Chains A and B, each alone.
Chain A
Amino acid sequence: MPTTRDQKIQAEAKRLLQEGVVDVVIGFTKGTLPYKMQPCFIQHAEDVEQLELNGLCSNNLAVYLNHRPKDERTAIVVRGCESRAVQTLVLENRHARENLYLIGVPCIGILDLQKIQQHEQDPVLAIQEEGDQVHVTLKSGEKTFQRSEILHNACLHCNHPLPVNADMIIDEAGLFEERTFDKSYLESFRSLSLKERYQEFTKEAERCIRCYACREACPMCYCEECFVNHSRPQWVDSTIDPAGQQAWHIIRAFHQTGRCVSCGACERACPMNIKMTYLTDLLNQDMFKEYDFEPGLDPALMPPFLALGEDNEKFGVGPEGSHAG
Chain B
Amino acid sequence: MIRKKPAIVLFQCQYCLASSMDQYWVETELPENVKLIKVSCSGRIDPLYILNAVQGGADGIMVCGCMPEKCHYKEGNLHARRTLSEFCNFLNLLGYSQDRFVFHWMNIDERGVIQSLLTEFEKNLEKLGAQPHLKTRTFSQEKA
Binding site for B on A (CB under 8 A): 189-190, 194-195, 197-199, 201, 227, 235-237, 241-243, 246-247, 250-251, 253-254, 257, 282-283, 286-287, 290, 304-305, 308, 310-312, 315, 317, 319, 321, 323, 325
CB-CB under 8 A for A315 and B85, given A323-B105, A325-B103: yes
- B102 contacts chain A at the CB level, 8 A cutoff: yes
With the chains together, A235 CA to B138 CA distance in Å? 13
For the complex formed, measure the closest distance between the CB of A200 and the CB atoms of chain B, giving whole angstroms.
Answer: 9
Partner of A198 from the list B75, B102, B134 (CB cut-off 8 Å) is: B134
**B86–A286 touching, CB < 8 Å:** yes
16 pairs, CB–CB < 8 Å, chain A vs chain B: A189-B93, A194-B92, A194-B97, A197-B94, A198-B133, A241-B138, A243-B136, A250-B51, A257-B83, A257-B86, A282-B90, A310-B68, A310-B78, A317-B105, A319-B67, A321-B107
Q: Which of B51-87 contact A (CB under 8 A)?
A: 51-52, 55, 67-69, 75, 78-79, 81-83, 85-87
**B95–A308 touching, CB < 8 Å:** no
CB-CB under 8 A for A246 and B136, given A254-B87, A310-B68: yes
**B69–A251 touching, CB < 8 Å:** no
Partner of A321 from the list B67, B82, B134 (CB cut-off 8 Å) is: B67
**A197–B93 touching, CB < 8 Å:** yes
For the complex formed, measure the closest distance between the CB of B132 and the CB atoms of chain A, giving whole angstroms.
Answer: 8
The prevalent SS among residues of A at the interface is helix
**B82–A323 touching, CB < 8 Å:** no
With the chains together, A253 CA to B78 CA distance in Å? 21
Interface size for B (C-beta < 8 A) is 37
Residues of B near A253 (CB, < 8 A) are 90
**B47–A254 touching, CB < 8 Å:** yes
Residues of A near B109 (CB, < 8 A) are 321
4 smallest CB-CB distances across A and B, nearest first, come from A198-B95, A243-B136, A243-B137, A242-B136
With the chains together, A301 CA to B109 CA distance in Å? 37
Q: Which of B91-135 contact A (CB under 8 A)?
A: 91-95, 97, 102-105, 107, 109, 132-134
- B48 contacts chain A at the CB level, 8 A cutoff: yes
Residues of A near B104 (CB, < 8 A) are 323, 325
